[in-house]
């Protein structure tokens, strides 16, 4: 079975290469969603989806599949970039992304930035976008507040440690003089 999918992938890649200068054939788009599910190696799947993006940089299915690939591989920085790209396509009127999915994309980005990548400001920004779409989203309210508290605590700890270093230096300079 894997051999058949490999052969299909090669045929589709040849067709993609042959259509680089023309508009993509709608018949080529039908089997695409199954590539990522059926190929035995994620790397081949990722490469195939990236080739689709070469033809159409705003292909929502390809962007979704790439994000899913990065998520399953634990490639968090790349996932962050893929989510941002999907959000950008949605904001440009990307076909197939409604407000509910856009809200979910921002939520995923907020989780990723705040909990995994520990980039508090980026997480806060993502959660604020969720609240712009749905002012009553309690999860976004909780997470945004949590990130804000963490950011304030980090700034406070930073100031405290700076003050402690200054006091230590003053005491040390007094004792050596």
At 44, the pLDDT band (50, 70, 90 cuts) reads: confident
Are residues 105 and 83 in contact, defined by beta-carbon separation less than 8 angstroms? yes
Contacts of 22 (CB under 8 A, 6+ apart): none
- pLDDT for 161 equals 60
- With 90 as the cut, is the pLDDT of residue 10 above it? no
Angle at 102 between CA 111 and CA 138, to 5 degrees: 55
Q: What is the mean pLDDT of the chain?
A: 81
Q: Which comes out higher in pLDDT, residue 94 or 25?
A: 94
- With 60 as the cut, is the pLDDT of residue 166 above it? yes
Q: Note the pTM of the prediction, 2 decimals.
A: 0.65
Q: Which comes out higher in pLDDT, residue 139 or 29?
A: 139
104, exposed or middle or buried, with CB in 10 Å at 0-12, 13-18, 19+?
A: middle
- Residues 115-164 have pLDDT tens digits of 999 999 999 999 999 999 999 999 999 998 989 888 888 776 656 566 66
């Amino acid at each position: 079975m894997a051999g058949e999918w490999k052969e299909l992938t090669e045929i589709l890649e040849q067709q993609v290469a042959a259509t680089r200068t023309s508009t993509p054939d709608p018949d080529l788009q039908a089997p695409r969603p199954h590539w990522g599910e059926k190929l035995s190696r994620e790397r081949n799947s990722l490469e195939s989806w990236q080739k689709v993006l070469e033809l159409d940089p705003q292909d929502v299915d390809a962007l979704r599949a790439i994000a899913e690939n990065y998520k399953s591989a634990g490639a968090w920085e790349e996932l962050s970039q893929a989510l941002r790209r999907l959000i950008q396509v949605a904001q440009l009127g990307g076909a197939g992304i409604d407000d509910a999915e856009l809200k979910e994309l921002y939520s995923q980005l907020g989780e990723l930035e705040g909990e995994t990548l520990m980039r508090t400001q980026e997480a806060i920004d993502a959660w604020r976008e969720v609240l712009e779409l749905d002012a009553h989203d309690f999860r976004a309210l909780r997470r945004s507040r949590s990130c804000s508290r963490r950011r304030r605590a980090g700034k406070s700890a930073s100031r405290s440690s700076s003050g402690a270093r200054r006091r230590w230096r003053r005491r040390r300079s007094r004792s050596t003089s």
